[in-house]
Amino acid sequence: MIAGHNDFVRRHPAAVKRALRALLKSLDICGTQPERVARELVDKSLTTRYDYTLQTLTGLPYAKWREYQAEDSVRFYALRMQETGLIKSSPQKIMAQATNWRFLNELKKELKG
């Protein structure tokens, strides 16, 4: 999940799209080249165990972002949060006022792979 302040997203759409593109590309690299990513993480001392890191990277579904419907996920979690009293807004209101799928939809087309 990624979130941005409405004002920032409106004022800096190019920066938002670049950041989202970088995130999605990194997910693709983690999914297609887990050995490379595990080695980089160890080399940069972000983790110490190559074997555990590789196991984690190969066990996570990094490429699923292409298959999931982001709208359905937000609707599902908004409904759960409303049911538990964490939020008062309806899922429909959250979808209408607090989501913007423009960048994701553009990047899905751009990053076909």
Q: What is the pLDDT of residue 49?
A: 96
Average pLDDT, the chain: 91
Both tokens of 105, joined, read: 């939809």
Which has the higher per-residue pLDDT, 81 or 1? Answer: 81
Model confidence at 43: pLDDT above 90: yes
Would you put residue 91 in left (φ > 0), alpha (ψ -120 to 50) or beta?
Answer: alpha
The answer to whether 93 and 61 are in contact (CB under 8 A) is: no
Nearest C-alpha neighbor of 51 from the set 41, 63, 65: 41
Q: Tell me the mean pLDDT in the region 7-22.
A: 94
pLDDT at res. 113: 58
Q: Domain limits of the chain?
A: 6-67+101-110
Mean pLDDT across 11-26: 94
